Structure 1
Amino acid sequence: MADQSPPDLRTAAGKRRGKTSGKVADFRYKRPSRPDRKARDSSGPLHAPVGHVRHEGGPRRQAYAALDLGTNNCRLLIARPSGENFTVIDAFSRVVRLGEGLAASGKLSDTAMERTLAALHVCAEKLRRRNVHLARSVATEACRRASNGAAFIERVREETGIVLDIISAQEEARLAVLGCHILLEDGVGPAVIFDIGGGSTELVLIEPGGPVPRILDWLSVPWGVVSLTDSVQPPDGTKQGRAARYREMRRLVSESFTPFAERIAETARKSGTIRLLGTSGTVTTLASIHLELPQYDRRAVDGLIVPSHSMRDISLRLSTMSEKDRRTLPCIGDDRANLVVAGCAILESILDIWPAKELAVADRGIREGILRSLMAADEIAERSRENRVRAQGQDL
């Protein structure tokens, strides 16, 4: 995590449906918080919280884990360090729709929580079986916004042993950038990285350079593929009705982007090369359609550069198709057929304010950012321990 949350210079933090944005400091690494004393004193690994440190041993030989519980998906990645990178040894992803109905009710539904707990039990078993040395588990917009979000987090801890940290929008943006910035095209000057989630969208203006880019400005809005879909009336079944619904989605998102758009307009105007990198199910799905893949292939999509006009064309085509027709398209299927239109509306609004000719696509993000943070922090701590031992030996 950052040493401190980036300051919110534009709006008060904690407003449920308000925008969150502001200029932020550079990345700084910090070890994740330790488990509470009660959890540490519990007997045996099955009772120890699996979202934190659980095992001792040589950190560079051990497994690290990152769990990202979003509004729509639950994702887990377990990896070991490999030089400057890491090798994935286990992974899990399931659509849980935790934020289903949240826009209307303001809370997580019983059905959504049960679906999510089932997925988290699978994650907990993988964490134990892989003998994970260090892990961090985070929850994002759905748990931030839900009135019963904190109670659900406690229930997760009691039933699975996973200690979820409800992170801020700022931290979510930071981790997404850390996880995927390496895929930015070469160039000079600022770039924008964005993450379209289930319950929110983060946009980050960065200055590349060095192992970690410097964040110049950022924005988080409470529009993701789930929250936007749930907040706009379903279409009337006609092509004209679907087009009208898409225009309303575009209007809502564009309005929420206005402060950020105004702040970065001069930067966009002065930049010789406008670079844009997106990480989300929306961009990977549209990239798959662009490639006409018969089924999703991460190796073909992660790092792909797609002309922006192609992404716009695909977005407009999907926006007026019926949900039934969208379900028949490869790489969309049942899970994304209802949500992809909202993602298209958000993507087009991003292209409006940062008019890059091409879009870089990342099938990586928060989980990879967490892993890099954990490994870097652990390596620093290990070097510090070695230096202390060396100094003590010299004193003797």
Structure 2
Amino acid sequence: MERVAIIDMGSNSIRFIVMQVADNKSYHLEYQQKEAIRLGRGMSETGKLNPEGVERALACLHVYKHMMEVMQVTKCIAVATAAARNASDGEAFIERIKQETGIEIEVISGEREAYLGYLGVVNTIDERNYVQFDLGGASIEVSLVRDRKIVESVSVPIGAVTVTDAFNLGDKVTPAAIERCCEFVRRKYEEMIPWAEGLNLPVIGVGGTVRNLAKMDQAQTNYQLSRIHNYIIPRRRFEETYTSIIKSNLSSRKRMKGLSSERADLIVAGAIIINTLMEFTGGQNIIVSGCGLRDGVFFEYYGETYGYGDGYKGPIIPDVLQESVHNYLLSADRRMEHLERVRTLALSLFDQLKRSHGGTRRDRSLLEVAAWLHDSGKVVNYYDHARHSAF
């Protein structure tokens, strides 16, 4: 068994996860924690990291170091993104972290940041062609994916924290400030990602801002599940939320359902950056990813260390649906003989009755998954497992 810790230190927050890899190569998330540190606060004026943010980050890292020792973590992979990359004192800060905590953090380039975010998405969402963005505190990584391969990728130096500071969007905002900000963001897109204009592809969003927008949409529609990953925000509803955000002040935003109070001062800038990107690319809906850079770090390590199915080595899972079901069955130690019998019978009935039901290859694949998972409800309640499995 192996425990892998991953630390993702961004401009706004620092994230810590521990993944466990069992002896049978199944993996699952064992622990996760996130803290707001605001490293990038004020950096657009000073060019340096926020001093209070530096101390908050160090306090978190001391805690994470202790937790790794208690949890007997065998490997730690730590990365830092735009704030540490762009600040004049970023290098000194990374050295201080090493001296005080013993944690070695790699400051990654914008291109590598985009690539790791892409790995987090391509291995967990079954889309082949899309525009992906990862919005952080000091930058937004935008990528074009064709046939599940990344073909364009650029880190644009605008983020929720830096844009909030530059246009004073933290509290009440004026229409003039909104207009100036929108023009600034669009010029950046025209300058740095001209290949993304008018693509009319699905848009997949990564980062705390888009996750908060999804929670707001779920609250407004009384959505029954709290899951964010793979949630779709229709363009019309996103525009309604966007309008309400830019017309509000800080105190009213803090009362908005679904919006985290710690992000209420940054949501205006974040919403403008995303809305302008949607207009620029011609995207119709936003697919929200709960997986991002830290998941990409894990998939890169796992794929090259352990591989996927049939000995395939590499950071990209060949078939997301099959791999996720396979990993679930291994980690849950299911009764494979019984499940295989149910699967075989279900597919046999499907094939023999195909002339009557006219099902597609995709339907057959989903039936196979349903057969593998038909007993999964037992982890909730054995005596009512059929309903829980169906849900």
- Scaled to the shorter chain, the TM-score interval is 0.7 to 0.9
Asked if the contact 1:295/1:331 (under 8 Å) is kept, the reply is no
Pairing 1:210-221 to 2, within 5 Å after superposition: 213-221=148-156
| Paired residues of 1:193 and 1:204 also in contact (CA < 8 A) | yes
Letter in 1 for 2:97: V
Q: TM-score, normalised by structure 1?
A: 0.72
- Establish whether residue 245 from structure 1 lines up as the match of residue 172 from structure 2: no
Counterpart secondary structure, 1:107 = coil
Distance 1:334 1:294, change over 3 A: farther
Shift of 1:184: 4.0
CA displacement 1:161-207 (0-9 Å, x = unmatched): 111100000000000010122454546xx311110101100000012
Structure 2 contact 124–291 (Cα < 8 Å) conserved: no
Name the larger-Rg structure.
2
1:369 aligned residue (274, 296, 318):
296
Q: What residue in structure 1 maps to residue 274 of structure 2? A: 347
How many residues align? The count is 308
1:123 is displaced (CA, Å) by 1.3
More helix by share: 2
Quote the residue 1:69 is aligned against.
Answer: 9
- Give the TM-score, by structure 2 length: 0.73
Q: Deviations over 1:287-341 (max 9, x none)?
A: 1111117999994211111102211221121011011100112332431111000
Matches within 5 A, 1:372-387: 372-379=299-306
> Is 1:169 matched with 2:110?
yes
Say which of 94, 114, 128 aligns to 2:35: 94
In structure 2, C-alpha distance between the alignment counterparts of 1:257 and 1:86, rounded to whole Å: 38
Seen in structure 2, the aligned counterparts of structure 1 residues 173 and 117 have a Cα distance that, compared at 3 Å, is: same
The answer to whether residue 19 in structure 2 is matched with residue 79 in structure 1 is yes
Q: Does 1:292 align with 2:219?
A: yes
Q: Contact 2:218/2:258 (CA < 8 Å) preserved in 1?
A: no
Write out per-residue CA displacement over residues 134-166 of structure 1, whole angstroms, 9 at most, x where no aligned residue: 221000110011111010001111111111100
Higher relative contact order (CA 8 A, sep 6+): 1
| Residues 156/186 of structure 1: CA separation in 2 closer, same or farther (3 Å cut) | closer
Residue 264 (structure 1) aligns with: 196
The correspondence of residues 118-267 of structure 1 with structure 2, limited to 5 A, is 118-184=59-125, 186=127, 190-208=129-147, 213-234=148-169, 237=172, 241-265=173-197
Q: Which residue of 2 aligns with 1:24?
A: none
Contact 2:212/2:260 (<8 A) preserved: no
Instruction: Flag structure 1 segments of 5+ consecutive residues without an equivalent.
Output: 1-60, 385-396
Q: Are the structure 2 counterparts of residues 298 and 223 from structure 1 closer, same or farther at C-alpha, using a change threshold of 3 Å?
A: farther
The answer to whether the 8 Å contact 2:117/2:134 transfers is yes
Q: Secondary structure at the match of 1:99?
A: coil
CA contact (8 A) 2:114 2:142 kept: yes
Distance 1:219 1:79 in 2: 29
Distance 1:148 1:295 in 2: 46
Classify the secondary structure of the residue corresponding to 2:137: coil
Higher deviation after alignment, 118-127 or 198-207: 118-127
Say whether the 8 Å CA contact 2:20–2:27 is kept in structure 1: yes
Alpha-carbon distance between aligned partners in 1 of 2:233 and 2:197, rounded to the nearest angstrom: 23
The 3 A distance-change label for structure 1 pair 171 and 296 is farther
In structure 1, what residue type is equivalent to 2:295? E
What secondary structure does 1:301 align onto? coil
CA 293–201 in structure 1, closer or farther in 2 if over 3 Å, else same: same
CA offsets, 1:21-54, max 9 Å, x none?
xxxxxxxxxxxxxxxxxxxxxxxxxxxxxxxxxx
Does structure 1 retain, via aligned residues, the 8 Å contact 2:19–2:27? yes
Cα distance in structure 1, aligned partners of 2:100 and 2:168: 37
Aligned partners of 1:347 and 1:340: how far apart in 2?
10
Q: Could you tell me whether the CA contact under 8 Å between 1:288 and 1:296 is conserved in 2? A: no
Task: Say if 1:183 and 1:360, in contact at 8 Å, map to a contact too.
Answer: no
